[in-house]
Structure 1
Amino acid sequence: MWKYKIFYIAILFLCSTLSAQQPLTLWYDKPAEEWTDALPLGNGSLGAMVYGGVKEDHIQFNEATFWSGAPRDYNRKDAYQYLEPIRKLLAEGKQAAAEQLAQDHFMGKRSNEDNYAAQKKEWLSKVRTDTQYAAASFDDSKWKTVQLPTNAGWEKEGWVGLDGSVWFRAAFNVDDNFDNEEFVINLGKIRDVDFTYINGKLVGTGEGSNTIRTYTFNSSILKKGKNVIAVQVLNFYDKGGFADKTIKPDYFTIQSASHKAIQLNHTWKYYIQDNRPPAFPAYNASYLAFADVFFKWNIDNNASGYKRDLELSYALQSVSFTANNIHYRREYFISYPQQAMAMHFTADAKHAVSLSAVFRTYHPNHTIKKINDSTLGIYLQPSDGILKAAAYLSAKIINGKINVTDTSLNIDKADAVTFYLVAATSFRNYHDVSGNPEDSCIKRLSALQHYSYPAIKARHVNNYQKLFNTFSVSFGNIDNTLPADKRLMQPDKANDVSLIALYMQYARYLLISSSRPGGQPANLQGIWNNELAPPWGSKYTTNINLEMNYWPADVLNLSACMQPFISLTKDVSVTGETTAKNYYNINDAWVLHHNTDIWRGTAPVNASNHGIWVSGSGWLATMLWQHFLYTQDTIFLRNEAYPVMKKAAMFYHHFLVKDPATGWLISTPSNSPENGGLVAGPTMDHQIIRQLFNDCIEASKTLNIDKAFSDSLQQQYKQIAPDQIGKYGQLQEWLQDVDDTSNHHRHVSFLWGVYPGHDITWKDSVMMNAAKQSLLYRGDSGTGWSLAWKINLWAKLKDGDHAFKLLNDLLTPAIQNGKENGGTYNNMFDAHPPFQIDGNFGGAAGIAAMLLQSDEDGIELLPALPATLHDGNVKGIRAVGDFELNFSWRDGKLQQVSITSISGLKCTLKYKQYSILFSTEKNKTYRFNNELKAL
């Protein structure tokens, strides 16, 4: 009898737990239509987007190490010869000349730049020689058709990743005879080069993606009746084709002054002549889409009771519906212990599970084949890259039959089926690509044989919850009756404050899913990307975006997720030594500019007006110290963080120069990301350098080492150009007082000292208010990540209501009236636009900053609580000093707080006018009321 009682109690506990977790669900009443409707899964190595279709389900997936490019030297040798000339030009006020000199001689090397000109010439000679496709008499009857013009390029037609030469042909009729008239053809914008013919005669050629193609020709080449226009489009890299996001009325017309326009916006024929142009020189590699799995079911689309959801508490997705009186359920997750994606499909009727699974990929270099009687495989390699990759899809069934061909995996009349997807590349580290992806896939599938599906699921949930369950938050007013996309459409989030808690936990889910020990750090899109030419390469932008990804990690009790970020920082501290030597003639030190990638390039990239920014290394190094402050892990500090911090500080120790006008030490050349061009002495640089110096000084004391070096930093610290207040009462962005109060640039870089730095605090209220004035001038609008940064800044300024206003803006639907804006997509991904994940992470950090702020001077409770979040509680929030707190509030007032001291340090706790300092013991918990009196 006691066995049944225990079982009954366990069931009650499970049900109550599930009930309590219901608000942590994103659910929808229809399948995804767009990629930003699909829901994400990930384990730090494998990422997937699940669409949840009824008749056809679509899984788009990524592997974190699948990038373009190869190990290489990003540095231009002896570029330091141009450093002093650039500095001199800047000192003389000759910014344009300094930028040109820097662009010519001071930028990093691009891949294939030495060979590209010759390769391009050879390729062009091949594709331009064969111009038979322009002739009016050419037979194009076997060509495929496409509707032109395409909105935003040919990728919208499914030609993702297509580069090369493509011919387009269309016929048009002329009813009149013309006598020496001038006609104009307008084709809008084309990427990158076009050669346009009418009846075999070249009428014009153009180049550049922003150039509108208008060509004038004489009517003598027209004939009464049928005429033919042919356009050869040459696209060398990135997106291609007819490229206007907005199609204007006069596009795709042939007009003369006296005749009605001939319309060309209709069906055209096309032929892909050559899709292998030479590799275009790139400053950085790109994170690439891997492949897609399509499940095609023997079910009609007339389903009822449809629901798809993502349970954040378990990292599980499900899709359920009823079709033909049969209830279907599909379950999806990606296991970190097993390094595999599991997909479990069931029905409540026997023999009702029949479907086919196929791979699709945009990569032209791929092979799909049968691996064994239950497994289909795909092998691929980027067109512009060295990495080899493989993915296997394997099935286990209950009853029914499996049939695998070289194109598909087929299930017939099963009761249930479980699919496992594994993927790997040949990447080992940034200088070793000797791995065997096929062996990795085989090993992972073999390891799955030891467990049943319920056991694999249980291992996944247990592993995930060890991270996820360390933190909880509630703002009351629990309401999950509407689908997530409908909740976002409500203009005032004050009526749905549980959405704020859900958003916070969603960011934690995304960080766990995209940044796990042993993997790569979360990139611009986390671990999710469906393009071969993703926005900004989906790489690591280090003048804000990479760092913002990790703002919530320590405070929201996910310190373990910092490991990939720490690993990347250690890598670039090695590659950055070569850059410091080649560009600044500084030895035994490292520098990182504003971008890096999987190959850990550290040189200046893109354009000199924003790519020469020396503070990426300083910012990353300060985050290592911040991580130490949260964890108090002195082994980490001694062996990993401090050596990296010291060499970063050593770079600035030698790099700073005296400004002849002021006598201050300044950073030059650099820029204030990504605003104002190449300058001497941007405020952000000096804030980061000061904080890094101070962090190194404190680390030296903690470790009791390097006193002489610490003393030298203290001396320099006093000489660095200070933060200054300008003529408008603003914090100056630059050394000179040249701020434009009407400038609403998305970057607020010069406010770094307020957040995430500590260079400006309320100890100097005059400077803090100057920063506030600058933020007011900058305005509230912005891209997704910009809004997130401003939320944190307003929280640090202790204006919770203003912070909440921007949070409400951040949670506004990104697509409204057919236009994309900064905000949030239906699947709650952040919109730059397009998708960038940093806004999710920065937004969550901003909510945390409303509830708690901490530094080496203590912990402040509810420092920026907005009136909207008047009731709530939080458990497991972390503070500097290795403290963990639980507290609650009602009607905007603290109720009680408990604080657990993990390391046993002294603690300063503040709330409103109350403040206490007390000693602690390791792992002991202390409780206080709303006046911070002990309970």
Structure 2
Amino acid sequence: MRPLKMLLILCSFSSLQAPAQQDLQFWYTSPASQWTDALPVGNGRLGAMVFGKYDRERIQLNEESVWAGSKINNNNPKAGEFLPHIRQALFGGSYKTALDLASQYLVGTPPRIRSYQPLGNFFIEYAPGGAPEEYRRSLTLNTGIAKTEFRIGNNRIEQEVYASAPQDVIVVHIHASSPSGLLLYLTRKRDVYEYNAKENLAYFNGQIFDEEDSLRGPGGKHMRLSAAVKILQTDGKPVPHTTDSSAGFKLVDFRNITLLITGATDYNPERLDLDGAVDPFAVCLGKINKASGYSAAVLKKHHIRDHRSFFDRVHFTLGEKDSLNDLPTDKRLARVKSGEKDLGLIVQYYQFGRYLLMGSSRSPGRLPANLQGIWNESYDAPWNADFHTNINLQMNYWPA
């Protein structure tokens, strides 16, 4: 009887239908007003936060290995010698003595590390601007696509952003119902020594400079990094446009454009160190040129198929009959905060947790998810967005 019971249970689970797409979609009727309201996409190595702005769109970029600092041996040489003394003080009730000794001899030298940093930003300025109507931005969890839609006058704009793991690039596709103009460009707040744009490629090259810091290690020029954007296809007329702080294109009379974005550093995971033999810009070119062998439609098809091969491993429901999918996500959150029930939102956030781990810890990435997954806009992130092995790193992977 017991094997039959188990068979029936397994059959009931296998017959569960996949959730409707709207059951797995966060959506809003206004752009993100702050970084934490933007919508994340990631492929394990590259991450982006999409703000969905209709005048000057911001897509904040990350690459998993962009860190300040350099490799150092911070083992405290006196730790072994003083550990018995610290134990003796603790067991003897001399807690202040134990604390003072531990603070001096059990911490690293230097005691802190430097921060995980953003790769940069990609901006899209729409022209002509104006007040939008029929605005909607969304993130569909089972496709990994962040979408922004709005209308200005008779011109309807649709923008899609996703992080392709198969091709290891971030893809931006924009469709306008009427011929339109754009200014689009890459930028980084600091540590960039070259901005350039030519034909259909714009890029920057930089090297992180660290100030001397007795708590965080030696100063100097350390990690080298690059970011690049390529126009894969467009029916518009792009003109390279470079300033002292940006590289990109001006575009007129376009209806469709597909962009490929990537970034790289000189970090070599095989050596666990920076590697002067690695050219970050050459790495960017290699990835973008390889992805350029596919059409926009094929890139999207490959991305969705790959994304769903992971995401669709779990279908989850709490049996809620009355869906609130017609309400924007921020309104649903407000209802729950006021004490209302929304089982569908609980399901969405459960799946969102899986989505974030997928986006920050998978191939083509080589590093584990840090304290912020892979998404960070700060040059001095909270707790450096580091790998806290006391509990936080483990907590990241509990759901897996």
Q: TM-score range by the shorter chain?
A: 0.7 to 0.9
Where 2:222 maps in the other structure, the secondary structure is coil
Shift in alpha-carbon separation, 1:106–1:463, aligned structure 2, 3 A: same
Where 1:388 maps in the other structure, the secondary structure is strand
Per the alignment, residue 54 of structure 1 pairs with: 54
Note if contact 1:397-1:415 (Cα within 8 Å) is conserved in structure 2.
no
Task: Note the C-alpha offset of 1:364.
Answer: 3.6
Q: 1:90-115: CA deviations, max 9, x gaps? A: 111011111111222332111xxxxx
Shift in alpha-carbon separation, 1:480–1:74, aligned structure 2, 3 A: same
Note if contact 1:397-1:414 (Cα within 8 Å) is conserved in structure 2.
no
Distance in 2, Cα, partners of 1:399 & 1:81 = 70
Q: Are 2:223 and 1:387 equivalent residues in the alignment?
A: yes
2:385 maps to a residue whose letter is S
Q: 1:306-351: CA deviations, max 9, x gaps? A: 00000001000111111121111011100001110000000123x2
Q: 1:409-435: CA deviations, max 9, x gaps? A: 111111211111010110112533222
Per the alignment, residue 420 of structure 1 pairs with: 260
Equivalent residues in 2 for 1:135-534 (5 A)? 283-349=112-178, 351-352=179-180, 354-370=181-197, 372-384=198-210, 386-407=222-243, 408-429=248-269, 431-434=272-275, 435-475=278-318, 476=320, 477-490=322-335, 491=337, 495-517=341-363, 518-534=365-381
Distance in 2, Cα, partners of 1:460 & 1:397 = 18
Per the alignment, residue 218 of structure 2 pairs with: none
Equivalent residues in 2 for 1:708-727 (5 A)? none
Q: 1:525-583: CA deviations, max 9, x gaps? A: 11000000111101111222111111101xxxxxxxxxxxxxxxxxxxxxxxxxxxxxx
Where 1:386 maps in the other structure, the secondary structure is strand
Per the alignment, residue 215 of structure 2 pairs with: none
Per the alignment, residue 71 of structure 1 pairs with: 71
Distance in 2, Cα, partners of 1:400 & 1:439 = 28
Q: Are 2:43 and 1:43 equivalent residues in the alignment?
A: yes
Structure with more of its chain in strand, by fraction: 2
Per the alignment, residue 26 of structure 2 pairs with: 26
Note if contact 1:363-1:383 (Cα within 8 Å) is conserved in structure 2.
no
Note if contact 2:25-2:141 (Cα within 8 Å) is conserved in structure 1.
yes
Distance in 1, Cα, partners of 2:235 & 2:376 = 36
2:130 maps to a residue whose letter is N
Equivalent residues in 2 for 1:724-743 (5 A)? none
Shift in alpha-carbon separation, 1:19–1:330, aligned structure 2, 3 A: farther
Distance in 2, Cα, partners of 1:406 & 1:336 = 29
Where 2:35 maps in the other structure, the secondary structure is coil
Shift in alpha-carbon separation, 1:356–1:386, aligned structure 2, 3 A: same
Where 2:208 maps in the other structure, the secondary structure is coil
Task: Note the C-alpha offset of 1:68.
Answer: 1.1
Where 1:467 maps in the other structure, the secondary structure is helix
Where 1:320 maps in the other structure, the secondary structure is strand
Distance in 1, Cα, partners of 2:242 & 2:57 = 20
Task: Note the C-alpha offset of 1:24.
Answer: 0.3
Distance in 2, Cα, partners of 1:492 & 1:41 = 30
Q: TM-score of the superposition, structure 2-length normalised?
A: 0.87
Per the alignment, residue 7 of structure 1 pairs with: none
Distance in 2, Cα, partners of 1:107 & 1:444 = 41
Per the alignment, residue 399 of structure 2 pairs with: 552
Q: 1:360-414: CA deviations, max 9, x gaps? A: 22224442112x3111101122222621110001113432211113333111111
1:413 maps to a residue whose letter is D
Shift in alpha-carbon separation, 1:365–1:56, aligned structure 2, 3 A: closer
Distance in 1, Cα, partners of 2:234 & 2:123 = 21
Distance in 1, Cα, partners of 2:339 & 2:361 = 29
Structure 1 runs not aligned, ≥5 long: 1-16, 111-281, 554-935
Q: 1:788-813: CA deviations, max 9, x gaps? A: xxxxxxxxxxxxxxxxxxxxxxxxxx
Structure 2 runs not aligned, ≥5 long: 1-16, 211-220
Where 2:349 maps in the other structure, the secondary structure is helix
Where 2:232 maps in the other structure, the secondary structure is strand
Q: 1:846-900: CA deviations, max 9, x gaps? A: xxxxxxxxxxxxxxxxxxxxxxxxxxxxxxxxxxxxxxxxxxxxxxxxxxxxxxx
Per the alignment, residue 3 of structure 2 pairs with: none
Distance in 1, Cα, partners of 2:126 & 2:68 = 34
Shift in alpha-carbon separation, 1:399–1:506, aligned structure 2, 3 A: same
Distance in 2, Cα, partners of 1:398 & 1:361 = 25
Distance in 2, Cα, partners of 1:431 & 1:449 = 30
Note if contact 1:54-1:299 (Cα within 8 Å) is conserved in structure 2.
no
1:431 maps to a residue whose letter is L
Structure with more of its chain in helix, by fraction: 1
1:382 maps to a residue whose letter is I
Note if contact 2:176-2:254 (Cα within 8 Å) is conserved in structure 1.
no
Ranked by relative contact order (alpha carbons within 8 Å, sequence separation 6 or more), the top structure is: 2
1:381 maps to a residue whose letter is Q
1:297 maps to a residue whose letter is Y
Distance in 1, Cα, partners of 2:105 & 2:312 = 52
Note if contact 2:139-2:147 (Cα within 8 Å) is conserved in structure 1.
yes
1:417 maps to a residue whose letter is I
Distance in 2, Cα, partners of 1:316 & 1:57 = 16
Distance in 2, Cα, partners of 1:413 & 1:542 = 52
Count of aligned residue pairs for this structure pair: 363
Where 2:371 maps in the other structure, the secondary structure is coil
Distance in 1, Cα, partners of 2:69 & 2:328 = 41
Where 1:67 maps in the other structure, the secondary structure is coil
Greater C-alpha Rg: 1
Distance in 1, Cα, partners of 2:338 & 2:235 = 51
1:377 maps to a residue whose letter is Y
Shift in alpha-carbon separation, 1:418–1:31, aligned structure 2, 3 A: same
Distance in 2, Cα, partners of 1:19 & 1:513 = 20
Shift in alpha-carbon separation, 1:106–1:537, aligned structure 2, 3 A: same
Shift in alpha-carbon separation, 1:358–1:333, aligned structure 2, 3 A: same
Q: Report runs of 4+ in structure 1 exceeding 4 Å deviation.
A: none
Task: Note the C-alpha offset of 1:18.
Answer: 9.6
Task: Note the C-alpha offset of 1:19.
Answer: 7.9
Distance in 2, Cα, partners of 1:404 & 1:86 = 64
Note if contact 1:362-1:532 (Cα within 8 Å) is conserved in structure 2.
no
Q: 1:122-156: CA deviations, max 9, x gaps? A: xxxxxxxxxxxxxxxxxxxxxxxxxxxxxxxxxxx
Distance in 2, Cα, partners of 1:398 & 1:102 = 62
